[in-house]
Amino acid sequence: MSAYQEFHRRSIEQPDVFWGAEAQRIHWHKPCTQVLQYDNPPFRQWFAGGETNLCYNAVDRHLAARPDQAALIHVSSETGAEITYTYRQLHEEVSRFAAIMQAQGVGKGDRVLIYMPMIPEAVFAMLATVRLGAIHSVVFGGFASASLATRIEDAAPKLLVTADAGMRGGKVIAYKPLVDEAMELAGSAAPATVILVNRGLAEAPMMKPGRDLDYATLRQQHLDDRAEVVWVESNHPSYILYTSGTTGKPKGVQRDTGGYAVALASSMEYIYGGKPGETFFSTSDIGWVVGHSYIVYAPLICGMATLVYEGLPIRPDPGIWWQLVEKYRATVMFSAPTAIRVLKKQDPEWLHKYDLSSLRALFMAGEPLDEPTASWISEELKIPVLDNYWQTETGWPMLTVCNGVEALPTKLGSPGLPVYGYNVKLLDEATGEEVPAGEKGVIAVIPPLPPGCMSTVWGQDERFVNTYFSLFQDRKVYSSFDWGIRDADGYFTILGRTDDVINVAGHRLGTREIEEAVSGHSAIAEVAVVGVHDTLKGQVPQAFAVLRDPSVLKDPDKKAALEKEVIAKVASQLGAIANPARVYFVNQLPKTRSGKVLRRSIQALAEGRDPGDLTTLDDPSGLEQVREAVQS
């Protein structure tokens, strides 16, 4: 048994001992009375009876050892803003913002909705909220007013914090009109107070007397005020984060406090190798779970500097990320495959222009990391590129390679092994029994879920059980709703959502497998495969591919020949049964603002249906590309 296997085994078989030791990584105002309380499955309580505070662990705890060290580095390639806050300065801003919130009546257990761009005040607001024992709900800035309204209705916040506008690709996105409309739609659930950070980007926002307050004015009024930390029981909710793509009543993932802090603190050593005093650069957004965990909380809990970036990976040029790595000596970087595929289309010289010697590893998450993308970025950077598999619900990785425990090999296309604390199994969808290596199954976790994972669905315990623990009727296990396969060494490969499996003439095919085959063609930069209704076969796969050289599209003969080549490549790798019925070439795929491809909408257009809810769509031109392709 390897060192990591033994480490993982102890975490599963002796969770009290294992996590009791890991809990020493954070500050406890009052120690727990029980490490794991599990008398009401699948609900569990970690570090029951213990009292702590997320903000204290992220900020106050470091004042003695590193008050003048960089804590928060903000860079906006949209506005040109660039500012660094030390831990001392961050403490002042956060405790002042908490005092402002207190003055508006916010206290323990109240909800604060944060609808902000990637600016320092957004991080201040998150930390200030948990400082008071209140619960934040961050909604991705720029979400449509109807989506924002449903989240307001569900969370019923006492306070909403927003900005006049965000910027993306040089375009101003006005937030305040969206907030005003959402407040109207939310009716009685709308909070009594809105605090607005005015960046001066949009026209002077309309301020509603008696409701809307200017942050700069409040900050001046409370310049000398500081709110003290409110200690909360370990299982007190820290935040609600709504899962993207939900329909009807939104699904609010509820996170605890103590378990989350411990899980993040341990992950920084065992998974990411981050050390106090270093710089962590996550290219995500605070509106998503990666932003919560690895822009805001984990780096600060660890005593690192966190780089908060507003902008695109290719603006003002494709070297902007690498310029920041050099300038701030980032040691750990976290991004998404979609962003790397965007960079893959650019001149690789941008990667070689800057001194990246500080960077030890690049981590990926958010979607499966395909082999061509992983190989390309790894060869260009000459550092380990490590895939993570996790979900909004888990809050931190489920599958990866924990090099902080033991140096283990990586395998292209695989995120790796089950992370300590997660008893991950591949189960047969019909029987619930574990499948052997080499066979497809549903990725599941035998409860109790480890610290850091969701506690429940906000206000809907029954929905928590019915959604996540009812796939296998005779077994209460957590379903990820993802297909996977495990090799003889225990490494997992993600094959796509269980509802992204297509049935072609009785054969079940994962669209991810076909995407891997298509993206292996040298002409293809990016691809999405969907199952489309077919009267003869039930469903057939169709591929929508972005080319490295779009000029091919101008020549119908070359285009037709390339389509045949791609289909032949799929046949050679997966067999003719997996051949796409069509390969459509487009200049752009429709994506959400977090970079995920809208496969549901692509499938709907391919079947001549309405593409559905597009509130998360980043750029409408991608959807139009698909529409034109299928209609041509």
Task: Examine the domain organization and report whether 410 and 441 are in the same domain.
Answer: yes
Contact of 454 with 43, CB cutoff 8 Å: no
Contact of 109 with 133, CB cutoff 8 Å: yes
Q: With helix as H, strand as E and coil as C, how does 547-558 read?
A: ECCHHHHHCHHH
- Asked, for residue 586, whether it belongs to a domain, the answer is yes
CATH of the domain at 41: 3.40.50.12780
User: Which residue, chain included where needed, has tokens 């019923």?
Assistant: 156
Task: Examine the domain organization and report whether 209 and 245 are in the same domain.
Answer: yes
Task: Examine the domain organization and report whether 444 and 554 are in the same domain.
Answer: no
CA distances in angstroms from 210 to 104, 191, 232, 273, 312, listed in the order given:
12, 12, 32, 48, 37
- Asked, for residue 341, whether it belongs to a domain, the answer is no
pLDDT of 570: 87
Closest CA to 479 of 503, 447, 510: 447
Average pLDDT for residues 378-403, to the nearest whole number? 95
Contact of 589 with 546, CB cutoff 8 Å: yes
pLDDT at 573 over 80: no
Instruction: Region of 254 please: left (phi>0), alpha (psi -120 to 50) or beta.
Output: beta
pLDDT digits (tens, 9 = 90+) for 227-248: 999 999 999 999 999 985 334 4
Task: Examine the domain organization and report whether 443 and 518 are in the same domain.
Answer: no
In a 3-state reduction of DSSP, which class is residue 217? helix
pLDDT at 593 over 80: no
Run of H or E residues at 364: strand 361-364
Question: Where does 438-477 show beta strands of DSSP type E?
Answer: 441-445, 456-457
Task: Examine the domain organization and report whether 515 and 437 are in the same domain.
Answer: no
- Asked, for residue 322, whether it belongs to a domain, the answer is no
Based on the structure, what is the number of domains in the chain? 2
In angstroms, rounded to a whole number, what is the distance separating the alpha carbons of residues 297 and 427?
33
CATH of the domain at 547: 3.30.300.30
CA–centroid distance for 487 within its chain:
26
- Asked, for residue 330, whether it belongs to a domain, the answer is no
Neighbours of 459 (CB within 10 A): 13
List the domain range (segments joined by +) for residue 127.
Answer: 3-311+388-482
User: Which residue, chain included where needed, has tokens 């050892």?
Assistant: 65
Task: Examine the domain organization and report whether 80 and 226 are in the same domain.
Answer: yes
Task: Please tell me the pTM assigned to this model.
Answer: 0.85
Listed in sequence order, the DSSP H helices in 209-306 are 215-221, 258-270, 289-291, 298-301
- Asked, for residue 316, whether it belongs to a domain, the answer is no
Strands across the sheet containing 478-486: 424-427, 441-445, 478-486, 492-497
Average pLDDT for residues 117-130, to the nearest whole number? 98
In angstroms, rounded to a whole number, what is the distance separating the alpha carbons of residues 616 and 593?
6
Task: Examine the domain organization and report whether 442 and 578 are in the same domain.
Answer: no
Task: Examine the domain organization and report whether 202 and 297 are in the same domain.
Answer: yes
pLDDT digits (tens, 9 = 90+) for 48-91: 999 999 999 999 999 999 999 999 999 999 999 999 999 999 99
pLDDT digits (tens, 9 = 90+) for 3-37: 999 999 999 999 999 999 999 999 999 999 999 99
Task: Examine the domain organization and report whether 477 and 604 are in the same domain.
Answer: no
- Asked, for residue 319, whether it belongs to a domain, the answer is no
- Asked, for residue 147, whether it belongs to a domain, the answer is yes
Task: Examine the domain organization and report whether 269 and 404 are in the same domain.
Answer: yes
- Asked, for residue 369, whether it belongs to a domain, the answer is no
Run of H or E residues at 110: none
Phi, psi of 274 (to 5 degrees): -75, 145
Q: Which two tokens stand for residue 543?
A: 């591929």
Phi, psi of 265 (to 5 degrees): -60, -45
Task: Examine the domain organization and report whether 473 and 509 are in the same domain.
Answer: no
Q: Which two tokens stand for residue 509?
A: 């095919």
pLDDT digits (tens, 9 = 90+) for 302-343: 999 999 999 999 999 999 999 999 999 999 999 988 889 889
**Which sign does the torsion angle of CA 86, 231, 116, 305 carry?**
positive
Task: Examine the domain organization and report whether 158 and 27 are in the same domain.
Answer: yes
Average pLDDT for residues 595-605, to the nearest whole number? 88
Q: Which two tokens stand for residue 394?
A: 């888990």
In angstroms, rounded to a whole number, what is the distance separating the alpha carbons of residues 323 and 359?
12
Neighbours of 556 (CB within 10 A): 8
In angstroms, rounded to a whole number, what is the distance separating the alpha carbons of residues 566 and 219?
59
